Every structure is written in structure tokens, then in C-alpha cells.
């Protein structure tokens, strides 16, 4: 089986490429940038998915479409990037999938679920990507849609809340909690996500599949959990800072033979140990991973 992973140099892409390779698939990543660390046996091609070029996709059985600009809180300054990378890019990849006869697995987000007026530009771009796939399926596109919640794990974005808490431990600085800290999130380990994406690829159901735990954790509770797993100074509260949706938890899909298995505390400990090992070897580059 041949797989393309768009966005293979990113956080989830790195883990997905590793899982697909270790499951015996041939894997090619298409990304704008080189990976911070290459998954063994993966072919990395520098490519902008907004451009048309079918030969890059030829022979693929599955296209896992992860490439996107991310960050659910994007305002007007990120609107054009969301439109171009997430909407135009998704249409371009979907058309390539249609032409070469591959199945596309579109990585969407829980940010699509609020009603349109409450949805940020990122949620709009993912929702539009989903709609494009539904429309193209009438022309024969094979597809599955997976909506993710808050993904964490080794090499997660340093700006994510767990990323920041880990950084604060490693750099001995005080973490900040934006808003009241009562915002509820559904944190899920990246290994669970990757298993879910592979499961969606093999399923006849289009979804949308919520790859989530269905369990809510407030940011304050997350802080306490982290402080129990690794040392953290008292948080600095920033009640006026933008803090996103008050509640973002999705009921997990019932249409895949899949469920999240990594308990939050165990996942935090594993993530911390992996980030610590990298930090001890390369103290400076950690901020970039």
C-alpha cells in the first residue's frame, strides 16, 4: 500500500508517518518544509499542496491530508492563509485524489462544530474543506473526514497549552493561564489519533469521525495534573487574555473500531519524558519543535 501524508513534517504528520511505515506501508510526505526530525524510511518531498501536479500523487492508495495552517483562534490577519492553505489546498489535494483514484482522509477539527457566527476563520476553513469533499464525492471521490480535538504528545506545538507547561518546567519559568482557566478541553494523545486515522482509512464510513476522548478537562485541572507529573511553579493568571471557546469536547465516533486508550496522566508523563530527553541533548532547538 502506498500512502501520501500532506503536512508530514508537522507534529501529527511525524507520528503518522512513523506508524504507517512501521505497519509496512510505503510513505511519501508532501510539505512546505523539511521535517525537524525525519521518520525512518519516509520519502520527504518539499511541495506546496496548493499547486496542481498529479504525478506526485500517482500510485497512492491513501492520501492523509494534514497540511494546513493551524490555530483555532485565528483572526482577520490569518483569514487569507486559512482560505489559501486550508480551503484551496484541500480542494487541490481532493482533485488529485479523485484523478489518481486514491482515498483522501481529511483531518478536520472540532472547531467546525460551533454555529457559523461563533466559529473562527480556522473552523470555517475546515468546514469548507469538509463540504468540498462531500460535493466531490458525487463525482466519485472516496473520502473520510476525521475531526480532532486537542492533540498532545512528543513534538507538539510549543504554543499549545501542554507544550507551554512542559516548556515552563524545562526552562524553570512560571506558566500562564489565559482566561479564567475554567475552559474545558478534550485532550487526546497523538498515538490514539494516528490509530484513528488509519482506522478511518480502512472504513467504509465517511464520518465525520470524532477522534476524541469525550472527557473534558479544565485548564486549571490540567495545570494540577501537570504539576503532579512534573514540577511547575504557581501559574500567572491572565483573566483578560483571549482563551477561546468555553467548552470544546466531542463525543467519540461510534462508526470505527477505535477508541482512545491513553489516559491523560500517563500521556503527560510520556510526553514530558520524551521532551526532556530532547532538551537534555539539544537545549536550544526545543523551542522550535
List contacts with ligand NAD (CB under 6 A): 6-7, 9-13, 30-33, 48-50, 66-70, 85, 89, 107, 109, 148, 150-151, 157
Cβ neighbours of residue 70 closer than 8 Å, sequence gap 6 or more: 122, 157
Which of 114/237 has CB closer to ligand NAD?
Answer: 114
Q: Closest approach of Cβ 215 to ligand NAD, in Å?
A: 15
Q: Closest approach of Cβ 172 to ligand NAD, in Å?
A: 26
* Alpha carbon distance 208, 49 (integer Å): 23
Q: Which residues of 105-139 are buried (b: 16+ CB within 10 A; e: fewer)?
A: bbbbbbbbbeeeeebbbbbbbbbbbbebbeebeee
Q: Closest approach of Cβ 32 to ligand NAD, in Å?
A: 4
Q: Closest approach of Cβ 269 to ligand NAD, in Å?
A: 19
Which of 102/233 has CB closer to ligand NAD?
Answer: 102
Q: Could you tell me if 109 and 148 are in contact, meaning their C-beta atoms sit under 8 angstroms apart? A: yes
Which of 48/274 has CB closer to ligand NAD?
Answer: 48
Which of 67/95 has CB closer to ligand NAD?
Answer: 67
Q: Closest approach of Cβ 123 to ligand NAD, in Å?
A: 10
Which of 94/139 has CB closer to ligand NAD?
Answer: 94
Residue nearest to ligand NAD (CB): 10
Which of 47/237 has CB closer to ligand NAD?
Answer: 47
Find cell 519524558 and name the residue.
Answer: 273
Q: Closest approach of Cβ 180 to ligand NAD, in Å?
A: 21
Q: Closest approach of Cβ 233 to ligand NAD, in Å?
A: 25
Cell representation of residue 2: 502506498
Among 157, 216, 208, residue whose Cα is nearest residue 188: 216
* Alpha carbon distance 86, 68 (integer Å): 5
Cell representation of residue 27: 510513505
DSSP 251: P
Q: Could you tell me if 74 and 121 are in contact, meaning their C-beta atoms sit under 8 angstroms apart? A: yes
Which of 109/199 has CB closer to ligand NAD?
Answer: 109
Q: Could you tell me if 185 and 220 are in contact, meaning their C-beta atoms sit under 8 angstroms apart? A: no
Amino acid at each position: 500500500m502506498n500512502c501520501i501524508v500532506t503536512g508530514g513534517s508537522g507534529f501529527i504528520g511525524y507520528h503518522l508517518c512513523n506508524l504507517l511505515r512501521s505497519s509496512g506501508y510505503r510513505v511519501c510526505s508532501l510539505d512546505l518544509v523539511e521535517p525537524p526530525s525525519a521518520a525512518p524510511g519516509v520519502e520527504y518531498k518539499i511541495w506546496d499542496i496548493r499547486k496542481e501536479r498529479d504525478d506526485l500523487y500517482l500510485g497512492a492508495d491513501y492520501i492523509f491530508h494534514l497540511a494546513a495552517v493551524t490555530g483555532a483562534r485565528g483572526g482577520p490577519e490569518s483569514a487569507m492563509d486559512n482560505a489559501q492553505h486550508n480551503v484551496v489546498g484541500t480542494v487541490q489535494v481532493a482533485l488529485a485524489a479523485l484523478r489518481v483514484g486514491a482515498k483522501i482522509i481529511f483531518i478536520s477539527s472540532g472547531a467546525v462544530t460551533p454555529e457559523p457566527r461563533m466559529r473562527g476563520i480556522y473552523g470555517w476553513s475546515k468546514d469548507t474543506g469538509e463540504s468540498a469533499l462531500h460535493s466531490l464525492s458525487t463525482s466519485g471521490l472516496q473520502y473520510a473526514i476525521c475531526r480532532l480535538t486537542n492533540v498532545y504528545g512528543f513534538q507538539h506545538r510549543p504554543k499549545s497549552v501542554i507544550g507551554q507547561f512542559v516548556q515552563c518546567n524545562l526552562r524553570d519559568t512560571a506558566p500562564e493561564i489565559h482566561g479564567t482557566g475554567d475552559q474545558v478541553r478534550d485532550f487526546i494523545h497523538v498515538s490514539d489519533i494516528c490509530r484513528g486515522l488509519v482506522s478511518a482509512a480502512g472504513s467504509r464510513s465517511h464520518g465525520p469521525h470524532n477522534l476524541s476522548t469525550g472527557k473534558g478537562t479544565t485548564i486549571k485541572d490540567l495545570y494540577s495534573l501537570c504539576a503532579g507529573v512534573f514540577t511547575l511553579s504557581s501559574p500567572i493568571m491572565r483573566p483578560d487574555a483571549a482563551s477561546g471557546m468555553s467548552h470544546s469536547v466531542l463525543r467519540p465516533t461510534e462508526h470505527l473500531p477505535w477508541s482512545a486508550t491513553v489516559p491523560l496522566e500517563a500521556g503527560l508523563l510520556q510526553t514530558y519524558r520524551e521532551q526532556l530527553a530532547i532538551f537534555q541533548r539539544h537545549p536550544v532547538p526545543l523551542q522550535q519543535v
